[in-house]
Amino acid sequence: MTDKNLEFSVKSGDPEKQRSACLVAGVFEGRKLSSAARRLDEASNGALGAILRRGDLEGKSGQSLLLHNLPGVLCERLLLIGCGKEKEFHENRYRETLAKAAKALQDTGAGDATLYLTELEVRGRDIRWKLRQAVETVEDALYRFDRLKSEKTERRRPLRKLILPVAKRSDLAAGEEAIKQGKAIAAGMSLAKDLGNLPGNICTPAYLAEQAIELGKQYNFKTTVLEQADMEKLGMGALLSVARGSRQPPKLIVLEYHGGHEGEAPIALIGKGLTFDAGGISIKPAANMDEMKYDMCGGASVLGAFKALAQLQLPINVVGVIPSSENLPDGNANKPGDIVTSMSGQTIEILNTDAEGRLILCDALTYTERYHPAAVVDMATLTGACVIALGSHPSGLLSNHDALARELINAGKYAWDRAWQLPLWDDYQKQLDSNFADIANIGGREGGAITAACFLARFAKKFKWAHLDIAGTAWKGGKEKGATGRPVPLLVTFLLQRCQPHAE
């Protein structure tokens, strides 16, 4: 969760005239002052430059220096943040600098701050982009998950207000819109992170369904939860087979947001909601198996995107579909070699029970056909192969429609929640051939992320479809373990650009 009372506002004004508990300015490597820092140095008759010449701050990335009562300026504190080499100050460094500033601000005791980092030039990015990123990055940096700790981490004087300056008064309107978007996306990311970070004994398929229902009530959109009997009537044999090893009943969660014209074809978002994945009979190794609570991050991202689009009241129709279950070993669980019949009628030979995400997604894809969607985007922590291929920076993207793929790639570039396209060639399909069923659920070690998408493609022939493999991006392991809230920024930007094509 983040500090719910953190308020963002946009303002135009000179840094030396700001009556702020803390003003934040950047310094580049070699003690080169940013524009705001130069103004402060002039107002203090060179006092700032003199302090830096003593060697307190070189301007390297990650450095910070807190000063009090600098003469000639009205702010109580001045927080200087190292920005690294000016010629290397691109999008990543801007976000890293913002995150460093946010964390340092929390330790100052200042209740409000004015963040002059938004004035820093990021090549090819305008003030709208910089302010939206400032909101999202600060909220992300301040996020913490302590709901299940007996002692909460309360700060003595938390940051309550953050002012984001713009150079010209004519930028104020664009700045306010950027803050609005940033806050909505940050709220969606926070929800996705909260759900992802909850353990599997709390965040069950039923819990995920309850959260979807509550979200629908809060923002006045329709939520429907299909139970096991409903899925049996629909013939969802693939999805139901995965849930057979669990005592938790499966759920198919359907959200309908009607912001566009009546009858207008919706965008469909499908998210894998596997609330815990032990691998089934093809059980996973014990090391790091706790991280399999994150196997529902696709579903959490759908809920996060819905929260953001509802807050923004976007003029678009969107359907969300979240197939949710657990995948556990049991006497009744799927066995390697079992054959199940999907909702589409296609039969599937289950060669590996740990390739279960595609089994629940294929029935969700078929179910989505009834909405006659303009486009379908599914997101799933689907394959370790995608992590090996791309690491943890971009999500994998595969699509049966080049224009849709380009839309998502461009949305990801703008949101700085990037995706990288992999081929979805028919050449890979033969790896999924089965001697005993229409299709096997795995295609061997080669091109594992691609063959997983090829499997899904067989159930997505009736619409424009794209698949996001978020196995490397939905959560972090190691010391900073936790859900990331991705790809909520990409999804919301995609929806924004769909209904406001000239806004970004």
Per-residue pLDDT reduced to its tens digit, 367-410: 999 999 999 999 999 999 999 999 999 999 999 999 999 999 99
Res. 3: pLDDT tops 60 = no
Cβ neighbors of 311 (< 8 A, separation 6 or more) are 183, 184, 187, 188, 219
- Assess if CATH 3.40.630.10 describes domain 186-499: yes
Question: Is the pLDDT at 210 greater than 60, yes or no?
Answer: yes
Cβ contact 41:48 at 8 Å:
yes
Which residues partner with 162 through β-bridges?
8, 113
**Which among 358, 418, 464, 498 is annotated as catalytic?**
358
pLDDT at 218: 97
Q: For residues 167-190, give the mean pLDDT.
A: 96
Residue 502: predicted pLDDT: 40
**Catalytic annotation on 307?**
no
Residue 258: predicted pLDDT:
97
Over residues 440-497, the pLDDT tens digits come to: 999 999 999 999 999 999 999 999 999 999 999 999 988 889 999 999 999 999 999 9
The answer to whether the CB of 38 falls within 8 A of the CB of 48 is: no
What pLDDT, on the 0 to 100 scale, is given for residue 398? 98
DSSP 306-347: HHHHHHHT-SSEEEEEEEEEEE---TTS--TTEEEE-TTS-E
Please report, for the chain, the start and end positions of each structural domain, with discontinuous segments joined by +.
7-164, 186-499
Average pLDDT over residues 64-70: 94
Say what the pLDDT of residue 152 is.
73
Topology (CATH) of 7-164? Leucine Aminopeptidase, subunit E; domain 1 (3.40.220)
Q: Catalogue the long-range contacts made by 407-410 (C-beta closer than 8 Å, 24 or more residues apart).
A: 407/494, 407/497, 407/498, 408/377, 408/466, 408/468, 408/490, 408/494, 410/497
Q: DSSP letters of 276-294? A: EE--TTSPPPSTTGGGGGG
The length of the chain in residues reads: 504
Q: Which of 161, 284, 413, 476 is catalytic?
A: 284
pTM: 0.96
> Which pLDDT score, from 0 to 100, does residue 459 have?
98
Res 81 pLDDT > 50: yes
Report residue 4's pLDDT band, with 50, 70 and 90 as the boundaries.
low
Report whether pLDDT(104) > 60. Answer: yes
- The CA-atom distances, in angstroms, between 244 and each of 324, 338, 399, 431 are 12, 13, 31, 27
Residue 142 neighbours by CB distance under 10 Å: 22
What angle do the packed helices 297-312 and 172-197 form, to 10 degrees? 150
- H-state helical runs in 78-126: 91-106
Determine the Cα–Cα distance for residues 81 and 29; give it in Å rounded to an integer. Answer: 11
Q: Which pLDDT does position 156 carry in this prediction?
A: 63
* Phi–psi pair at 282, nearest 5 degrees: -80, 65
Structure-token pair, residue 129: 């982009």
Is the pLDDT at 112 greater than 90? The verdict is yes
d(CA 344, CA 358): 14
Q: Is 149 annotated in the active site?
A: no
